[in-house]
Amino acid sequence: MDKFLIRGGRRLQGEVTISGAKNAALPELCAALLSAEPVSLVNVPGLQDVRTTFKLLRNMGVAIEAGDDGRVTLDAGELTSREAPYELVKTMRASILVLGPLLARFGEARVSLPGGCGIGSRPVDQHIKGLQAMGADIVVEHGYIVAKAPRGLKGTSITTDMVTVTGTENLLMAATLAEGETILENAAQEPEVTDLAELLIKMGAKIEGHGTGCIRIQGVGRLHGVAPAQAHRVVPDRIESGTFLCAAAATGGNVTVRDTRAEHLSAVLDKLREAGVEIETGPDWIRARADGGRRLRAVSFRTSEYPAFPTDMQAQFMALDCIADGTAEVTETIFENRFMHVNELLRLGAKIEAVGHTAIVHGVQKLSGAIVMATDLRASASLVIAGLVADGETVVDRIYHLDRGYDQMEKKLRGIGADIERVK
């Protein structure tokens, strides 16, 4: 099982290029199921979750051509199966995103209840309720969601009980082929949802209001493909951007991230500035500088839905707070079990008290290298950041979690001065 060996204490300096967003690429790969014509994407990241999605779609009969340069063309013209089996779904919760497209285009789907990393329950009931409101007959039996809509889906008004990103994406995709108008209230506003909508529009969908809490979709009879010359470019990964900015800040570095969008990271950039990091931005770059020799300030924050501070940056920013001056209060409102990295940070010498949904972080002068274990995707990144600043050697075990969401992280970190290597 792969591990990271990190020798800490080196400032990060230079430039790093950000990959396409995992949380945009996965639904966009599934969106190819909506059309009988090929759909081409570029800037698809080389991640384990992307490879898992390829395997899932190929199992259904989707023909996929994927290059090493992030170019992917998917052809769902002749599907052989409408099922997403457990053995292909168990490792990735985003597999639920095939449900809406299959049901909308073929009138049937059988999808295993999803798995993924253990950061808390992410119920699929909002997906099911929304599709039922559109006329689908859905039962959950033997661990599978069995959905049928032999007469097609009907447009309707849907208000989800909570803001759900994958729920919004599933219902958005399903609504593109539903009869009449669908209104999604309390919709997720994340950039990845907006990017999915832009792809669907390129495929012929009629969508308004994406990027707001109310999305309107006028159903169409069919969606066409996207030719390679007009391939849709997956939006940059804002969480990868934020992770490298936190790493730069924690190490007292000076790093510019390229191929990114500052407007997607406003809440994170505000907190970095509050901590004392110098932030500069351009059309497609962000520079974080913390090499002035002074210790950063501990910063409190609360996670919430976009555009507020993202839950996917909570662990990385907590690692920054661990070596900052002062005390910070971190409140997690999205997932009920997302402080699993706390015990591992304690092994590195951090001082953290976690009670319920709140963690009190008391900044320390330094961390000490140790063997730690990754428990989920973003926890992995926080341990890497802590290892970069810790004295001595840190070993981060079970980095298969990290490979689900970061494209060649160790290579990118070495490119900006980190002493990190992948070992068995």
At 228, give phi and psi (nearest 5°).
-55, -35
Q: Are 39 and 226 in contact (CB under 8 A)?
A: yes
Catalytic one among 30, 117, 246, 322?
117
- What six digits make up the tokens of 131? 């599709």
When computed from its CA atoms, the radius of gyration of the chain, rounded to whole angstroms, is 21
Q: Are 291 and 303 in contact (CB under 8 A)?
A: no
Mark whether 246 is an active-site residue.
no
Q: Where do we find the tokens 């976009």?
A: 306
Among 373, 365, 362, 363, which residue's Cα sits nearest to residue 391?
A: 365
- What six digits make up the tokens of 161? 């009980």
Cis? peptide before 27, omega within 30° of 0: no
List, as one string, the DSSP characters of 230-285: GPEEPPB-HHHHHHHHHHHHHTT-EEEEES--GGGGHHHHHHHHHHT-EEEE-SSE
DSSP designation for 161: S
Residues in the chain: 424
Catalytic annotation, residues? 117
